Amino acid sequence: MLTAILSDIHGNRQALEAVHSRGQELDVDTWICLGDIVGYGGAPNFCIETVRALTNQVVLGNHDAAAVGRLDPYYFNDYARRAVLWTAAQLTEEENAYLAGLPLTLDCDDALCVHAEPCQPEQWCYVQSRQEARSVLDNMDHRLCFIGHTHVPFICAHTGGKLQMTGPQENIAIEADGSYLVNVGSVGQPRDGDPRACFLLWDQLGNTLELIRTDYDIAAAQETILDAGLPSFLAQRLAIGQ
């Protein structure tokens, strides 16, 4: 079974469409979304409805939470706050209820799915360093944990008593005695210097993990942001992956 795991779409219609198309080319069987469907981008309604049609395996992100009143928007910087307040005003009653009802964590076979950090998911902490990743792995009950939130993909493997934290590689084999923490990157707003949309392909039969990058129409996504009256910085950063 091939599972595509998405995170941090952030209202970017063009990136989501490109990832969906790539997933179809790869014959993906099922989809999981790790939250932040909305925020920053100019197409929150489209992204919500597309995710709802793709899967019921979805967790809450902090931007989703802020858009529906489950998190104080003043937690964010000015750019993010302006975007989340604009997003909140665009949501239908049904979309609002959908986001508000999303769980913080999700069990998927032998994996735990969460937006930010599995030990205290409601705190929205960032897992960025080797030490932070090790702390998560040491406290995990699952063999695999999939996260997003930082917009920077990585695979951290604890196998044979050794810890290895790597950036994107072509393919990672899942060892029977290993545990894995995987940041699946961002569909709609990558921040690792690569502007292409990013998602994870989890081959549950072949026991492999692969981070996939996909080109999309960045100019169109930028135009959507500017047409919505959102800060130009949110559009500009898409082109540089920061």
Backbone phi and psi for residue 138, each to the nearest 5 degrees, phi listed first: -70, -20
Give 3-35 pLDDT, tens digit per residue.
Answer: 999 999 999 999 999 999 999 999 999 999 999
Give backbone dihedrals phi and psi of 3, rounded to 5 degrees, phi first: -115, 125
CATH of the domain at 107: 3.60.21.10
Query: pLDDT tens digit string along 40-51?
Result: 999 999 999 999
Per-residue pLDDT, 110: 85
Tell whether the torsion through CA atoms of 27, 171, 11 and 63 is positive or negative.
positive
With residue 5 as reference, give the H or E element that holds it: strand 2-6
Number of domain units in the chain: 1
pLDDT, tens digit (0-9, with 9 covering 90-100), for 83-139? 999 999 999 999 999 999 999 999 987 899 999 999 999 999 999 888 888 888 888
- Which is nearest to 38 in space by CA: 69, 18, 9? 9
pTM of the model: 0.95
List the domain range (segments joined by +) for residue 57. Answer: 2-239
In angstroms, rounded to a whole number, what is the distance separating the alpha carbons of residues 149 and 151? 6
Q: So what's the pLDDT on residue 169?
A: 66
pLDDT over 90 at 201, yes or no: yes
Average model confidence (pLDDT) across the chain:
94
**CB neighbours of residue 78 within 10 Å:** 10
pLDDT at 38: 98
pLDDT at 170: 66
Joined tokens for residue 101: 């009802």
